[in-house]
A = this chain, B = another copy of it.
Amino acid sequence: MVKGESSVGSVSWQSIRDAMMARIRAQDYAPGELIPNEVDLATEFGCARATVNRALRDLATSGFLDRRRKAGTRVREAPRRKATLAIPLTRAEVEASGARYEYRLLERMGETPPPSVREKLKLAGKERVLHVKSLHLADNVPHMFEDRWIVLDTVPEIEAVDLVKTSPNVWLVRHAPYTHGTMEFLAETAGARSKHLICAPDDPILTMLRVTWLDASPITFARQSFSPSHRMRLEL
């Protein structure tokens, strides 16, 4: 570790974060190894312990460090970085490209979900579930076909929502922000969806599966199928 390059002259938490980041880059702290503790780093940088804590917390939030009380702080073997989604994803995407966005409700029904959906949402058996199919367009051209299941036991209010006017995604984003979930990307052939997306059944399409939870309660499972050649862009 290079001690001579301390940042004594400038003691903002950002400068400490940057200095620590540089050391991580240079492998001064090997992946998996402990870094010096906060009190020692505060001495080295000539600032308060709370300031070091603030800097290290940012690095931990960004996925570079693992922090444990008493155990100390380690450089992660594999950084866990985050990518940003803007939600509502589809409307924002379409409008950002300068196109006119339109949403069309295709089907809405209370329905018993098939086993694959029950498994995704970890349903026990008695839950009421809403099944919604919709099409999202850009300049009157099909952009994304959505097949979505919403657990009414978790978000009963959506039952009173006019889903002709408001897409379930927009409503959920506003009224049922998830606490955690998963998102999967896969490539499939359009198949039966080609009639919605107006393409060839053999065309490759990007599909996104999303499951969201509110604490321990499942909110929704959505399968979004995009038109061929569509690219889903995330910011890193």
Contacts and interface: CB of A to CB of B under 8 A. Distances in A.
A177 B84 contact: no
A176 B36 CA distance: 22
The number of chain A residues touching the other chain, given as a range, is 35 or more
A176 to B, nearest CB: 7
Contact of A204 (B24, B177, B188): B188
Contacts of A64: 177
Interface string A81-101: 111111110001000000000
B180 A235 contact: yes
Contacts of A105: none
Interface string A60-93: 0101100000000000001111111111100010
Given A24-B177, A174-B31, A186 B230 contact: yes
Number of this chain's copies in the complex: 2
A214 to B, nearest CB: 9
A84 B61 contact: no
A25 interface: yes
Contacts of A88: 78
A62 to B, nearest CB: 9
Contact of A231 (B83, B85, B184, B234): B184
A175 B25 contact: yes
Contacts of A79: 87, 173, 177
Nearest to A63: B84
Contact of A82 (B85, B173, B174, B230): B85
Contacts of A25: 175-177
B228 A187 contact: yes
Contacts of A173: 78-79
Contacts of A80: 84-87
A108 to B, nearest CB: 23
Contacts of A184: 231-234
What 3 pairs across the A-B complex have the smallest Cβ distances?
A204-B204, A187-B187, A181-B236
